[in-house]
Amino acid sequence: MEKDIFQRKDDHIKISLNENVNSKNTTWLECVRFVHKSLPEINFKDIDITMKFLGKPINAPIIIGSLTGGTNLGLEINRRLAQAAEKHQIPLMVGSQRIQLEYPDTSKNFASIREIAPTIPIIANLGISQLIQMDDFDSVELIIRSIEADAIAIHLNPLQEIIQPEGDTNFTNAKKKITELNNTLKIPVIIKETGAGFSKNVSNDLINIGIKYLDVSGLGGTSFAAIEYSRAKKQTNQLKTAIGDTFLNWGIPSAASIIETKKIAQNSTVIIGSGGIRNGLEIAKCIAIGANISAIAQPFLKSAFDNPIEIESYINTLISELKSAMFLTGSKSVRDLKKAEYVILPPLSNWLEKRL
């Protein structure tokens, strides 16, 4: 078992908080411009952003995205986020639960998350590298039960793994294992990227094997390539530092990834727009171009670490900004927002012209 996993997970948190690890590339959501509606013909107070997600009612199309890896520091952050998520009735995706596989005693700590948030959708989380190595899924069932999860996210992170000094780059049989897991579990499997986005071809592959939930997590936000580059540099690992420096800007911007995925999505496909989403207007844009719901991570991490009161303030701001965008496009509901008029500008329009 990897003895330094606790330190590595805490490194991820501390580097995210204290260093500039935002991608130098943008999400390209700035290339999506809503057409202003001077006669919205709705009352702002009547705007309804409630919906159902994973079979449960939620108050806004916002997921608190995965942030931490299960250390004491990470679990305290998760508890604070769970409290805010329960109060505002929005979903929470926990960070990687790999630690539970290697240190089962940590399961009792994860259980406290569901105790704090008994009614909201909670999403478990595990890496594809761990899934590939499993002979059966008993351990997956255990981590699901520990938080009474409504779904489990399997995160794909090939970019992170090639830069991480301890990275596991064997992705052989990944699709086969995802298929087996999806056919075994009674709860939905969400496949998520970790900052490099899904192409239409990968999304199509996943949909064809029965996956109904895709979290695109595109380029433009917190960069795990940058985080692992920082770790490699501090460890004086010259090879990994060089690879990290070369591939810092690798990936598909979030807006392009959402549109590519939507292009081949089926009616039953739920698209989670994520990767560098920072405000309510960007949530509105994600939904307008094809997402069903949006996930935000890094700003919640900072709020939870600095001052838990800021979490609620941030959620309230996101909701107000989202409703403002809906008001200015004449969208009374999330369904209406999907029909809002917008224009796509370069470089996103150039990408889509070549790709779709």
Q: Is 79 annotated as a binding residue?
A: no
Neighbours of 93 (CB within 10 A): 29
126 forms beta bridges with 154
The amino acid present at 355, given as its one-letter code, is R
Residues 6 or more apart from 267 whose CB is under 8 A from it? none
Q: Is 191 annotated as a binding residue?
A: no
Question: Which has the closest alpha carbon to 128: 145, 153, 163, 104?
Answer: 153
Element (H, E) at 272: strand 270-273
Per-residue tokens: 136: 């059966």
Q: Is 153 annotated as a binding residue?
A: no
Q: Is 222 annotated as a binding residue?
A: yes
Q: Is 192 annotated as a binding residue?
A: yes
Q: Is 297 annotated as a binding residue?
A: yes
Report CA-CA distances (Å) from 191 to 41, 163, 215.
39, 21, 6
* Three-state SS at 155: strand
Q: Is 268 annotated as a binding residue?
A: no
The amino acid present at 291, given as its one-letter code, is A
Neighbours of 6 (CB within 10 A): 19
* Residue 77 · residue 308 · CB < 8 Å: no
CA distance 221 to 348: 16
- Residue 112 burial class via C-beta count within 10 angstroms: exposed 0-12, middle 13-18, buried 19 and up: middle
Q: Is 161 annotated as a binding residue?
A: yes
Q: Is 9 annotated as a binding residue?
A: yes
Q: Is 255 annotated as a binding residue?
A: no
Is residue 188 reached through a cis peptide bond, with omega within 30 degrees of 0 on the bond before it? no
Return phi, psi of residue 264, to 5°: -110, 5
Q: Is 89 annotated as a binding residue?
A: no
Q: Is 50 annotated as a binding residue?
A: no
Q: Is 186 annotated as a binding residue?
A: no
CA distance 273 to 256: 11
* Residue 187 · residue 211 · CB < 8 Å: no
* Cβ burial 13-32 (10 Å sphere, 16+ → b, else e): bebbeeeebbbebbbbbebb
Residue list for the binding site for FMN: 66-68, 96, 125, 192, 217, 222, 276-278, 297-298
Residue list for the binding site for Mg(2+): 161
Residue list for the binding site: 8-9, 66-68, 96-98, 125, 160-161, 192, 217, 222, 276-278, 297-298
Residue list for the binding site for substrate: 8-9, 96-98, 160
